[in-house]
Amino acid sequence: MTRCNKLPDVGRRQFPKGGAFAAAGMAIAVAAQAQTKTKTAPGLALVEYPSKRLANLGDLKPNEPLDVSYHDSAGPDCDIVGFSTTCPHKGFPLNYNADDPPLNCSGQYSHFDADAGGQQIWGQSTANIPQYALRIDAKGEICAEGVDELLYGRLSNVL
Ligand code: FES
C-alpha cells in the first residue's frame, strides 16, 4: 500500500492546536451572535413595569400601612417602602405589626424585616417579600415602577 504524499502529516501534537483554534473560533462566533441579538431585541428577563400612582405623601401616617393595589407601608424614619402583602412561601396574607418584625405571615408564621428590604428572618419561607420600586414626584405623588422579585403565584409580574 502506498501513502498519499499530498495529505499533511497531522500528528497528536498538532491536533489539539487545531481543536483549540476551532473552539476559540466558535466562542467568538457565539459571542458575536449574542451581541447582535442584544442590539436587536431586549432580553427576556427585562420587563417594562408600568408606573402607577399609589397615593400622595399627605395620605401617609407613620406606622399605618396604606392599602393600595400596587402596594404598602411607611417606616418610622419616614422612609417609604412598598412590599407585596402575600407571603412568598404559600401565599397567605401578611399582617402588618408596628413592632419588630413588622410583616408576619398569617398562615405559617414566617417573619419578614421591612427595614432590610423584606428579608425573611424566621420561618418556613425561603424567599424574601417582593419589594416595589417607588418614585415620589415633586407633588408628593407616590408611584410604583417595578418589583424586585416574582410575586407569589405569578409567572410574570406584568400581565
Ligand atoms: Fe407564609 Fe408559609 S405561607 S410561611
Nine-digit cell at 146?
Answer: 417595578
Determine the atom of ligand 1 nearest the C-alpha atom of 110.
4
143 CA to centre of ligand 1 in angstroms: 28
Joined together, the cell numbers standing for residue 105 give 405571615
ipTM above 0.95, yes or no: yes
Q: What's the mean per-residue pLDDT of the chain? A: 73
**Averaged pLDDT for residues 73-96:** 81
The gap from C-alpha 49 to its chain's centroid, in whole angstroms, comes to 12
Torsion (CA) 126, 75, 73, 122 in degrees, nearest 10: 20
- Which of 80, 71, 27, 40 shows the shortest CA–CA distance to 53? 71
Task: Choose between 18 and 117: higher pLDDT.
Answer: 117
Mean pLDDT of 73-84: 67
Distance from the alpha carbon of residue 95 to the mean position of ligand 1, in angstroms? 12
Of 94, 95, 64, 99, nearest to 78 by C-alpha is: 64
pLDDT tens string 32-48? 344 444 455 555 555 56
End-to-end Cα spacing for the chain: 72
Q: Is the pLDDT of residue 21 over 50?
A: no
Enter the pTM of the model: 0.56
147 within 8 A of 131, measured Cβ to Cβ: yes
CB 121 within 8 A of CB 101: yes
**CA–CA dist 128, 152 (Å, integer):** 11
Contacts of residue 96, defined as CB under 8 A and 6 or more positions apart, other chains included, come to 65, 72, 73, 85, 102, 103
123 CB within 6 A, ligand 1: yes
Residue 82 has pLDDT above 90, yes or no: no
Decide if pLDDT at 72 tops 60: no
Q: Are 128 and 118 in contact, with CB atoms under 8 Å apart? A: yes
Which residue lies with its CA nearest to atom 3 of ligand 1?
90
Our answer on whether the CB atom of 18 is closer than 6 Å to any ligand 1 atom is: no
105 lines ligand 1 (CB under 6 A): yes
